[in-house]
Amino acid sequence: MQIDPRIWVLLPFLVSTIDALRILVLFPVNAKSHSILGQGVVTHLLKAGHEVVHITSYPRVKKEANLTEIDVGYIGQPPKHLAEKMDQFKIKNLVGKGNIADSTFFLQFLYDYNKRFLEDEKIVKLLSDPKEHYDVVVLEWFFSELVAGIAPLFQCPLVWVATTEAHAHVLRVIDEIPNPAYSVDLFSTSRPPLSFTERVTSLWGIVKKMVLGSLMFEPDQRDIYNNVFPPIAAKRGVTVPPYDEAIYNASLLLINSHPSIGTPFRLPQNAKYIAGYHVDSQPQPLPKELQKLMDESKQGVIYFSMGSNLKSVEMSDEMKKSLLDVFSKLKETVIWKFEEDMEKPLNVHFVKWAPQQSILAHPNCKLFITHGGQLSTTEAIHYGIPVIGVPVLGDQHINMKSVVEKGFGVKLDLAEDLADNLKGALYEVLHNPSYKIKAKEISQIFHDRTMAPGDELVFWIEHVVKTQGALHLRSPALHVPLYQKLFLDLLACIVIALVTLYYLLCFLLKKIRSKKPVKESKKKVK
Ligand SMILES: *[C@@H]1O[C@H](CO)[C@@H](O)[C@H](O)[C@H]1NC(C)=O
């Protein structure tokens, strides 16, 4: 029998394909934007033919083949002692405040969440079931590494997904703390090159978070880890490594960013930029009414949304009224994601829920007024839409700083006189063509890649499984202690050598001096 010679061409491809994998995807954070990113990961993995178990707070409306969803929305309800503090996250209470996410309360809140999550009956049951097996676990990294203990339970590689730009806190788990002289924190308001004060602030941020933060929270994290994972591991007939080994053992970090969005960080080989993977390759059709409205808005559409967590309706009445007043004087149509109804000018349309990607994709969309969250910024860049940013908290400040420096938007402070400043910003961005040109330019950079971000995500996750944890990609910096990086041991050797030399010289000098008078006295005798 003759073998078709074409088989030799095909062979490498046959070898490198892998069977469908069974993957656990964990994006439990009870926030719509995070769930969109989780669902994006799941969509690409399903499309590649894999089987997924997804732990999420926002399950899909329709059931899908190869997908099991575990709804944990109820865990996200903050407990009483934190619930009272949640009011501070309403827009009207954030006016004039600094970056509220840059606080230990924020970390406390997340640690608390992780504890409740890992102690939840449904989760413990799933993790304990010896019949459950996964080839890889894909976990959202969100200011806690506690869930890293899940990977050793299934004896499989761990992939982190960071939902924001890279930063010291997350890079330290696969590589090292980047140099604060040119790598700024996610909650910073400056971008490199840094001035002297900015550099000092950046360094202090690292000390505060990494040193004081770990002193404050790590003992608790360790306790939770040691209480939760070993008993589950025992039920599965495996053992889990100590906390410090587990949290520094990820195979891959997928970062929901791209140099066109933020700062081009220097990344280790197992960190990959995948921003844009959550954007539909073909935008979903708009609801009929919105489609008609946008088609007919020949003067263009301004889309205004403060995201899914911040509710416009929670602005003060004066702020709402003054904004509507500014909008009423525009010839453009304004689509505002506003959660209630109130009296409004004819050219303003409220939508309780906005199909954001489809609105930005519409050719009549001229401008996006946004809080500057990572998803909104990414989508604006994807579709090349200029922005006016009103950053409120978290990474929104640094994102908007970046947008302003890249030249495709204007940043405004969240203040009671927002409307006054918005008037000027609207005039500037709508009449100066440079914003639109820059937005298109950045968009082009964003799209010019070797692979579509969704394919890249799948490629690297499969690569990790194929290569049993991709040990070859791991950063050699990960396990080098700080004193070795700073060559403090060498410094100590040099200091010891110098001190020894000094004393040796002193000793010798003394010896010589003490001999001299003897010689002289001998001379005198002669
Ligand atoms: C670390 O990850 C690799 C690859 O997944 C795995 O083989 C190894 O057992 C893990 N080590 C620990 C201590 O969990």
Task: Kindly list the domain boundaries of the chain, sorted by start residue.
Answer: 18-279+452-479, 288-447, 484-510
Q: Report whether pLDDT(16) > 80.
A: no
Q: For position 133, what pLDDT does the model report? A: 97
pLDDT-derived band at 216 (thresholds 50, 70, 90) equals confident
Atom number in ligand 1 closest to CA 470? 4
DSSP tag of 307:
T
pTM for the full predicted model: 0.91
Q: Give the whole-angstrom CA distance, residue 36 versus residue 23.
A: 18
Residue 5 burial class via C-beta count within 10 angstroms: exposed 0-12, middle 13-18, buried 19 and up = exposed
Task: Examine residue 230 and say whether the peptide bond preceding it is cis (omega within 30 degrees of 0).
Answer: no
Closest-CA residue, ligand 1 atom 10, reads 249
Encoding tokens for residue 88? 């501070």
Q: Report whether pLDDT(463) > 60.
A: yes
Q: How far is the CA of 324 from the centre of ligand 1 (A)?
A: 57
pLDDT digits (tens, 9 = 90+) for 115-135: 999 999 999 999 999 999 999
Determine what percent of the chain is predicted with pLDDT higher than 70.
Answer: 93
DSSP tag of 202:
H
Atom number in ligand 1 closest to CA 155? 9
Q: For position 217, what pLDDT does the model report? A: 84
pLDDT digits (tens, 9 = 90+) for 363-398: 999 999 999 999 999 999 999 999 999 999 889 999
What are the residues facing 365 on neighbouring strands?
A: 301
Atom number in ligand 1 closest to CA 249? 1
Question: Which of 153, 249, 466, 467 should be mutated for ligand 1, with most atoms under 8 A from CB?
Answer: 249
pLDDT-derived band at 183 (thresholds 50, 70, 90) equals very high
Atom number in ligand 1 closest to CA 246? 14
Q: How far is the CA of 249 from the centre of ligand 1 (A)?
A: 6
Q: For position 211, what pLDDT does the model report? A: 81
Phi, psi of 332 (to 5 degrees): -80, 160
CATH class name, domain 288-447: alpha beta
Comparing 2 with 243, the larger pLDDT belongs to 243
Contacts of 349 (CB under 8 A, 6+ apart): 293, 333, 334, 335, 336
pLDDT digits (tens, 9 = 90+) for 264-305: 999 999 999 999 999 999 999 999 999 999 999 999 999 999
Residue 175 burial class via C-beta count within 10 angstroms: exposed 0-12, middle 13-18, buried 19 and up = buried
Residue 416 burial class via C-beta count within 10 angstroms: exposed 0-12, middle 13-18, buried 19 and up = middle
Distances (CA, A) of 411 to 122, 336, 396, 425, 444: 44, 18, 10, 8, 22
The total of other beta-carbon atoms located within 10 Å of residue 2's CB is 4
Across the range 7-36, mean pLDDT stands at 79
The total of other beta-carbon atoms located within 10 Å of residue 351's CB is 19
CA angle 418, 422, 424 (to 5 degrees): 130
pLDDT-derived band at 95 (thresholds 50, 70, 90) equals confident
Q: Give the whole-angstrom CA distance, residue 152 versus residue 130.
A: 13
Q: How far is the CA of 99 from the centre of ligand 1 (A)?
A: 37
pLDDT digits (tens, 9 = 90+) for 391-444: 998 899 999 999 999 999 999 999 989 999 999 999 999 999 999 999 999 999
Among the residue ranges 37-41, 71-75, 88-92, the one predicted with the least confidence is 88-92
Helix or strand holding residue 137 (H, E): strand 136-141
Q: For position 12, what pLDDT does the model report? A: 54
Encoding tokens for residue 3? 């073998």
Q: For position 526, what pLDDT does the model report? A: 47
Q: How far is the CA of 172 from the centre of ligand 1 (A)?
A: 18
Closest-CA residue, ligand 1 atom 11, reads 249
Pocket of ligand 1 (CB under 6 A): 152, 157, 241, 245-246, 249, 251, 469
Q: For position 369, what pLDDT does the model report? A: 98
What are the residues facing 335 on neighbouring strands?
A: 303, 349
Among the residue ranges 29-33, 130-134, 331-335, the one predicted with the least confidence is 29-33
Residue with tokens 């944990």: 72
Atom number in ligand 1 closest to CA 156? 5
Comparing 499 with 80, the larger pLDDT belongs to 499
Q: How far is the CA of 138 from the centre of ligand 1 (A)?
A: 15
The total of other beta-carbon atoms located within 10 Å of residue 78's CB is 15
Q: For position 49, what pLDDT does the model report? A: 97
428 in Cβ contact with 123 (< 8 Å): no
The three-class DSSP label of residue 466 is helix
Determine what percent of the chain is predicted with pLDDT higher than 90.
Answer: 76
Atom number in ligand 1 closest to CA 158? 5
Q: What share of the chain is helix, strand, coil (3-state, %, to 5)?
A: 50, 10, 40
- 300 half-sphere exposure, CB direction, 13 A CA radius: 14
Atom number in ligand 1 closest to CA 241? 13
Q: How far is the CA of 462 from the centre of ligand 1 (A)?
A: 17
Q: For position 167, what pLDDT does the model report? A: 94
CATH superfamily, domain 18-279+452-479, is Glycogen Phosphorylase B; (3.40.50.2000)
Q: How far is the CA of 24 from the centre of ligand 1 (A)?
A: 17
Q: For position 13, what pLDDT does the model report? A: 53
402 in Cβ contact with 375 (< 8 Å): no
Closest-CA residue, ligand 1 atom 4, reads 469
Among the residue ranges 336-345, 436-445, 494-503, the one predicted with the least confidence is 336-345
- Does 18-279+452-479 match 288-447 in CATH topology? yes
